[in-house]
Amino acid sequence: MTIDTSDILAALVLTLELAGVTTLVLLVIGTPLAWWLARSRSLGADVVGTLVALPLVLPPTVLGFYLLIALGPDGLGGLAGVRSLAFSFSGLVAGSVVYSLPFVVQPIRNAFEAMGERPMEVAATLRASPLDRFFTVAIPLARSGFLTGAVLGFAHTVGEFGVVLMIGGNIPGETRVLSIAIFDYVEQLRYREAHLVAGGMLVFSFLVILAMARIGRNIGTVRP
């Protein structure tokens, strides 16, 4: 039995694309969200914070099922007039964004919280406008949080299975990512391919967690 690497390669490229796009989207929407959650004491912030954290505890199939409904004719798909946003790359990005949200928002939020009010006050007394100090003080000081969030968000999206399974439709080059490929190989009893991809995932996950530890060691501490 020979291994068909073109299948795996296509799944790998798609997975990296999905994780990359998802991470970018998450950084863009996660940063202001994390800032608000770190600074606001309102009930609304607590409620939103809880919603953001939900994917941590919900089984991905639950999330996937709700996403399926949300993307379908009675939800976003209907609004967009295309019946359903499921079974498409953008649908997967939407699902992955929801699914990986806490993994990006939480570290950034923690970094913003650890920073305290003081650096922003100092910047204000040094003539920096709110937006100016957000970009020149808050973001650089929270860089370990951003790095952690980006790495975790990327890795978590790469490792995502349940949600993609629920809303993907296994379309090669569009929604057939690595974790789905592994599942397929196991189902088809093609264990050699399964081993190859699963082993790669294992090494990747190991490297990610190792990288996290190094990030924590090198730039985790922010002195006042």
Choose, by CB under 8 A, the member of 105, 123, 147, 177 that binds another protein: 123
Q: How far is the CB of 132 from another protein (least distance, A)?
A: 7
Q: How far is the CB of 125 from another protein (least distance, A)?
A: 4
The Cα–Cα gap between 110 and 11 comes to: 34
Count interface residues toward another protein (CB under 8 A). 48
DSSP assignment of 27-71, as one string?
HHHHHHHHHHHHH--SHHHHHHHHHHHHHHHS-HHHHHHHHHHHH
Does residue 201 interact with another protein by CB under 8 A?
Answer: no
Does residue 41 interact with another protein by CB under 8 A?
Answer: no
Strands (DSSP E) contained in 49-161 are none
Choose, by CB under 8 A, the member of 121, 192, 199, 214 that binds another protein: 121
State the burial class of residue 119 (Cβ atoms within 10 Å of its Cβ: 0-12, 13-18, 19+).
middle
DSSP assignment of 73-104, as one string?
TTTHHHHHTSS-STTSHHHHHHHHHHHHHHHH
Q: How far is the CB of 182 from another protein (least distance, A)?
A: 11
Contacts of 112 (CB under 8 A, 6+ apart): 34, 35, 38, 39, 138, 142, 145
**Part in contact with another protein (CB under 8 A); list of ranges 1-9, 41-49, 52-60, 125-133:** 125-133
Does residue 51 interact with another protein by CB under 8 A?
Answer: no
Does residue 124 interact with another protein by CB under 8 A?
Answer: yes
Residues that bind another protein (CB under 8 A): 65, 68-69, 71-74, 77, 83-84, 86-87, 118-119, 121-130, 132-133, 136-137, 140-141, 143, 165-167, 169-171, 180, 183-184, 186-189, 191, 222-224
